[in-house]
Amino acid sequence: MKKCVKTVCPYCGVGCGVDASIDSDDVITVAGDVEHPANYGRLCSKGAALAETLGLDGRLLKPEIAGQTVSWDDALSRVANGFRDVIDKHGPDAVAFYASGQLLTEDYYLANKLMKGFIGSANIDTNSRLCMSSSVSGHQRAFGSDTVPCCYEDLERAKLVVLTGSNAAWCHPVLYQRLVSAKEENGDLQIVVVDPRKTASCDIADMHLSLKPGSDAMLFNGLLVYLDQKGERNEQFVSRCTEGHQEALTAAKECAASVEVVADYCGLPVADVAEFYRLFARTERVVSVYSQGINQSSSGADKVNAIINCHLFSGRIGRPGMGPFSFTGQPNAMGGREVGGLANMLAAHMDIDNSDHRNLVQTYWNSPVMADHPGLKAVDLFNAIDAGDVKAVWIMATNPVVSLPDANHVRAALEKCDLVVVSDIMAKTDTTEFADVLLPALGWGEKDGTVTNSERRISRQRAFLPAPGEAKADWWMVSEVAKRMGFSGFEFASARDVFVEHAGLSGFENSGQRDFDIAELSILSQDDYDCLAPVQWPVIDGKGTARMFMDGKFFTASGKARLLPITPRAPKNATSDDYPLTLNSGRVRDQWHTMTRTAKAARLNEHSPEPYVEIHSLDASENCLVEGALAKVSSRWGKSIVRVRISKEQQRGSVFVPIHWSRQFASQGGVGPLVNPVVDPLSGQPEFKQTPVLVTAYEPAWYGFLLSRRALQLKGVTYWARAEGDGFYRYEIAGEQAPEDWAAWARGMLCESNNDVNWVEYLDVAERRYRGIRMLGERLESCLFIAPDTQLPARSWLAGLFKQEALNKQARANLLTAAPPQGEEDTGRIVCACFSVGLNTIVSAIKAQRLVSTDDIGKALKAGTNCGSCVPELRGLLDSLSSL
């Protein structure tokens, strides 16, 4: 064994501990860390596939200026001089950093320090603006600080868990699995899912409220009124520990006077709303989990406070098994907030509008200046770039050309910007295409530092791989640029040096006034830091803190929590005849964001190999859409072309498109160009969940697919989506014009030359069907199937042939029909990513072996027995087969 470390998963905010190792043959293994309190050994499909994503193909390994490889010295000087020139000519607010919740705390701390304390602008914002900022605003308004009250154990100790706007089964899978186990162990645990869609998380729900998109504030206002009517006000807590309950109640009564009014507004059956309210009212231990269905809204902050109001009013906070609980998205969304990585915050949970705080931070940093007003929030920042007000931007660990709303506008802005610096681990992303300077970053497994998960737990990410090429840590790049700009205060030799400074600031003149305090960690030696065990902040008397507000004291001036009067607002833009459907966007089970890492693992590409729009059958038929065909989704801002999936899980009037596809993986599969750039006025978070759209059939002249061992340059294709499989690339394709000569076109793409080509083909001119197979020796090299419609053969049997070095006679004979020889099975689309078990395999086992439960399926096929993420789908299959 070369190296073996305990580290944390680089994906979601659950922050699972990972045992990672590399052996003497350079084989990398990852497994869940059984000691880590976030996951106790579990991993989801993405975490379990980490080792498969660490190959160096596509990595950015050397610095570049204008596409040319340069030395680090040249690259860093170019960035420093570029920023310096703009600042000298146009002032500090003419430059900006756009950072990410995927930076480590140490990286983030230095970026914030450089911008706010040395450049003297607060123009540092991050993709957390798109993710958690409404929660931050909600927390600050209610608690006087950005404090997450709960811990994971509260999920297990609760009697009712409300998942609102959270598809935890896919997005926080290990916490979802903890809920599954808790429910198994504790029959009384009730789970309510509030989501317009019927998601995989509904699998364990006792109740699913499929409310009208954007109507959550009304639902929770109604709950507040109900709690009051039923005498559920916690008199002692409300009078001693809170303020504003009367105003909050008055506002709630004005709009949500009765269950009937709420049900009507939210589009829910009266009985369901009443039952939910009853359940909440009669259960003391309630945890309300919320995520992007709440945050990503033009009234996201108000929705957060509508939820928190109910907990404060009933005193369901600060005790085990209860509280409002924002599940954070990114691995270090919380760390970013701790270092003040948002344009309207200061370091260590201090306030940029507070002059005492500004002085304090400036004193600690011994810095020449201090930003004295909030900087530009993400959407405004890119508008300012477009307007020419911001002339230099450094984008770190995020892919804004894909992930911001109105993404075509982001493209246009970066195109115009004088200096675009991008630090990334990958060479080619939609954003790196706009970079003047590209800086190669160390990735997961190569870098050291800390991250904080959703329950305030700080864990160490530890390196176990050598630095590839010339890649460097993000914090190092920032410190080198700072030094080259002439600033002192950036002489750090290691991530530990940065961490202890950050920890020290949290305790500087604090004395219990600020929630975030890890000053005790500021004395860590390098060894201590290397051995740091996961710990929840604040760290007091050598111990972490599981739960906050247990003493009923809050961080407001009065020490009391605030209930806020909330007047529900509908999504900013209503649907209309032109754009009659509501576009909801979010995540799929096995991909992470813009897929720069997860798409490298073949098994993660199989569950959803293509971008799609999920739509209710009646909306589909009204718009002439057919399952498996292509559709054009358009909004006032842009358009996409994606596959149609008709789904019972989608409510009428709304459609769902996943967020993951960039131009690297599909011709026009991105959802970003469609999304309304309207933001919450307080938090600045965009409304990613409700944009009015029109969905129409996209009718190409032909459809097809192509499997190939090599990545191919496609020609004459108007639609494509690419996914890497095990030993092959899969391209789903379509074209608006048929080539004059199918064979010439196909060979032009699939064969390097016309010599030595072992080519089998089939053409039916009348039926407009074409099939071509290329063999290299005994091996299948590539194959192409074209049809005038979507009636194409299944891909899975053919895909499996790429694992074989030599095809047998039977297989060869069947190539053109793409049907497995008798006795062999086409496994179908992969459902269980951990054990690569396909749909057809599962269906035939259910039928042949009369399997009746997901446990039965697990025993027969192993499917669903590792991470558990496919269990909801397995149950769905069992249900649909039993109803036949």
The verdict on 774 binding ligand MGD (CB under 6 A) reads no
- The binder of 16, among Mo ion, ligand MGD, ligand SF4, none, by C-beta within 5 to 8 A per type, is ligand SF4
Tokens of 469: 């090429």
**How far is the C-alpha of 541 from the C-alpha of 520, rounded, in Å?**
8
The residue type of 617 is S
Angle 645-647-651 from CA coordinates, rounded to 5°:
125
The verdict on 613 binding ligand MGD (CB under 6 A) reads no
Q: Which of 423, 339, 341, 350 is nearest to 375 (CA)?
A: 341
When the beta carbons of 554 and 656 are compared against ligand MGD, the nearer one is 656
- The binder of 43, among ligand SF4, ligand MGD, Mo ion, none, by C-beta within 5 to 8 A per type, is ligand SF4
The verdict on 689 binding ligand MGD (CB under 6 A) reads yes
Hey, which residues between 463 and 522 contact ligand MGD (CB under 6 A)?
Answer: 474
What are 440's strand-pairing partners?
Answer: 424
The verdict on 403 binding ligand MGD (CB under 6 A) reads yes
**N residues, the chain:** 884
The verdict on 199 binding ligand MGD (CB under 6 A) reads yes
When the beta carbons of 241 and 678 are compared against ligand MGD, the nearer one is 678
Considering only 383, 585, 635, 683, the residue that binds ligand MGD (CB under 6 A) is 585
Hey, which residues between 175 and 194 contact ligand MGD (CB under 6 A)?
Answer: 194
Residue pair 20/28 in contact (Cβ under 8 Å)? The answer is: yes
The verdict on 174 binding ligand SF4 (CB under 6 A) reads yes
Q: Which of 427, 794, 833 is nearest to 596 (CA)?
A: 427
Rounded to a whole number, what is the distance in angstroms from the first to the last CA of the chain? 53
Task: Give Cβ neighbours of residue 728 (< 8 Å, ≥ 6 apart).
Answer: 707, 708, 709, 799, 802
Angle 662-665-667 from CA coordinates, rounded to 5°:
80
The verdict on 131 binding Mo ion (CB under 5 A) reads yes
Other beta carbons less than 10 A from residue 266's beta carbon? 26
Is 467 buried (19+), middle (13-18) or exposed (0-12) by CB count in 10 A?
middle
The verdict on 164 binding ligand MGD (CB under 6 A) reads yes
Residue closest to Mo ion (Cβ): 329
Q: Which of 346, 294, 350, 352 is nearest to 324 (CA)?
A: 294
The verdict on 168 binding Mo ion (CB under 5 A) reads no
- The binder of 403, among ligand SF4, Mo ion, ligand MGD, none, by C-beta within 5 to 8 A per type, is ligand MGD
In this structure, what is the dihedral angle of CA atoms 830, 835, 837, 843, given to the nearest 10 degrees?
Answer: -130
Tokens of 323: 């509280």
Tokens of 734: 């379509």
- The binder of 174, among ligand MGD, Mo ion, ligand SF4, none, by C-beta within 5 to 8 A per type, is ligand SF4
Tokens of 722: 């690419």
When the beta carbons of 319 and 639 are compared against ligand MGD, the nearer one is 639
- Per CB under 6 A, the segment of 130-138, 166-174, 222-230, 339-347 that binds ligand SF4 is 166-174
When the beta carbons of 288 and 454 are compared against Mo ion, the nearer one is 454
Residue closest to ligand SF4 (Cβ): 47
**How far is the C-alpha of 287 from the C-alpha of 150, rounded, in Å?**
8
Q: Shortest gap between Cβ of 140 and ligand MGD (angstroms)?
A: 19
Hey, which residues between 290 and 349 contact ligand SF4 (CB under 6 A)?
Answer: none
Hey, which residues between 1 and 30 contact ligand SF4 (CB under 6 A)?
Answer: 9, 11-12, 14-16
Q: Which of 711, 727, 731 is nearest to 603 (CA)?
A: 727
Give, as one character, the DSSP assignment of residue 469: T
Q: Shortest gap between Cβ of 327 and Mo ion (angstroms)?
A: 10
Considering only 97, 109, 143, 170, the residue that binds ligand MGD (CB under 6 A) is 170
**How far is the C-alpha of 289 from the C-alpha of 566, rounded, in Å?**
19
Q: How many alpha carbons lie under 13 Å from residue 720 in its C-beta half-sphere?
A: 18
Q: Shortest gap between Cβ of 44 and ligand SF4 (angstroms)?
A: 3
- Per CB under 6 A, the segment of 38-46, 64-72, 625-633, 870-878 that binds ligand SF4 is 38-46
Q: Which of 828, 305, 319, 797 is nearest to 562 (CA)?
A: 305
- Per CB under 6 A, the segment of 346-354, 372-380, 418-426, 790-798 that binds ligand MGD is 418-426
Considering only 38, 130, 379, 877, the residue that binds ligand MGD (CB under 6 A) is 130
Locate tokens 């170019």: which residue? 78
The verdict on 167 binding ligand MGD (CB under 6 A) reads yes
What are 19's strand-pairing partners?
Answer: 6, 31
When the beta carbons of 29 and 354 are compared against ligand SF4, the nearer one is 29
When the beta carbons of 152 and 637 are compared against ligand SF4, the nearer one is 152
Strand 3-8 and strand 612-615: the pairing is: unpaired
Hey, which residues between 294 and 353 contact Mo ion (CB under 5 A)?
Answer: 329
What are 734's strand-pairing partners?
Answer: 703, 719
264-293 footprint of ligand MGD as x/- string (CB under 6 A): ---------------------------xxx
Other beta carbons less than 10 A from residue 701's beta carbon? 13
When the beta carbons of 209 and 304 are compared against Mo ion, the nearer one is 304
Q: Shortest gap between Cβ of 179 and ligand SF4 (angstroms)?
A: 12
Q: Shortest gap between Cβ of 28 and ligand SF4 (angstroms)?
A: 16
Give, as one character, the DSSP assignment of residue 543: B
Q: Shortest gap between Cβ of 513 and ligand MGD (angstroms)?
A: 30
**How far is the C-alpha of 167 from the C-alpha of 294, rounded, in Å?**
12
Q: Shortest gap between Cβ of 368 and ligand SF4 (angstroms)?
A: 40
Angle 863-10-151 from CA coordinates, rounded to 5°:
85
The residue type of 417 is C
DSSP 523-536: G--HHHHHHPPPEE
When the beta carbons of 33 and 146 are compared against ligand SF4, the nearer one is 33
- The binder of 196, among ligand MGD, ligand SF4, Mo ion, none, by C-beta within 5 to 8 A per type, is ligand MGD
Residue pair 255/201 in contact (Cβ under 8 Å)? The answer is: no
- The binder of 149, among Mo ion, ligand SF4, ligand MGD, none, by C-beta within 5 to 8 A per type, is none
538 upstream amide cis, omega within 30 of 0: yes
The residues that touch Mo ion, with contacts defined as CB under 5 A, are: 131, 329
Site residues, ligand SF4 (CB under 6 A) = 9, 11-12, 14-16, 39, 43-44, 46-47, 172-174
Footprint of ligand MGD on this chain (CB under 6 A)? 12, 100-102, 127, 130-131, 164-168, 170-171, 194-197, 199, 213-214, 216, 291-293, 296, 329-330, 396-400, 402-403, 423-426, 429, 441, 443, 474, 584-587, 589, 591-594, 596, 659, 671-672, 675, 688-689
